[in-house]
Amino acid sequence: MTTKSEQAATVDDLATVRTGDKGDTLILGVVARDGVDFSDLSRAITEEAVADHFGVPVSRVKRSLLSGLNAMSFELKGMLGSGVTGVSHLDGHGKTLSYHLLTMQVTR
C-alpha cells in the first residue's frame, strides 16, 4: 500500500521519452514534464529500475543525468541485436521501446 507521500505512477505520467540508436545500443532520452520535480524523477528512474523493466542485466544499462535540462539519457547495450541494419524484426530502430519505458511503474 502506498502512503500519501508515495504515489504510484508511470513514467508516462511524469516524463516524455524519445529514442535513438547507435549500432546495437538503444538510447532513451527521458525529459521531465512541466511541474515534475527532476530530483524525484531521477531517484525513481534508475539504471536498476530500467534494467529490470526491460529484463536485461543492469551492467548493460548506463544512465547520464542532464539536470540543467531536467532530463536523463539511458544507453541499453545490445538491445538492438546486430544493430538497426542487421535485425530481422520490424522495429530495428527501437522506436516502440520508448513506449515500453513509458509503461514502467514508479513511486514518487
Q: Which of 81, 69, 74 is nearest to 19 (CA)?
A: 74
What's the sign of the alpha-carbon dihedral 19, 20, 24, 30? negative
The set of cell numbers assigned to 33 is 514534464
Which 3 state secondary structure label does DSSP give 9?
strand
Task: Look at 84 and 62; give whichever has higher pLDDT.
Answer: 62
Does position 3 have pLDDT exceeding 60, yes or no? no
Residue 31: DSSP 8-state: E
Q: pLDDT digits over 32-83, tens only?
A: 999 999 999 999 999 999 999 999 999 999 999 998 999 999 999 988 876 5
What CA dihedral angle connects 79, 83, 86 and 88, to 10 degrees?
Answer: 30
Question: Is the separation of the CB atoms in 39 and 72 below 8 Å?
Answer: no
Question: Is the separation of the CB atoms in 27 and 77 below 8 Å?
Answer: no
Q: Output the pTM of the full model.
A: 0.78
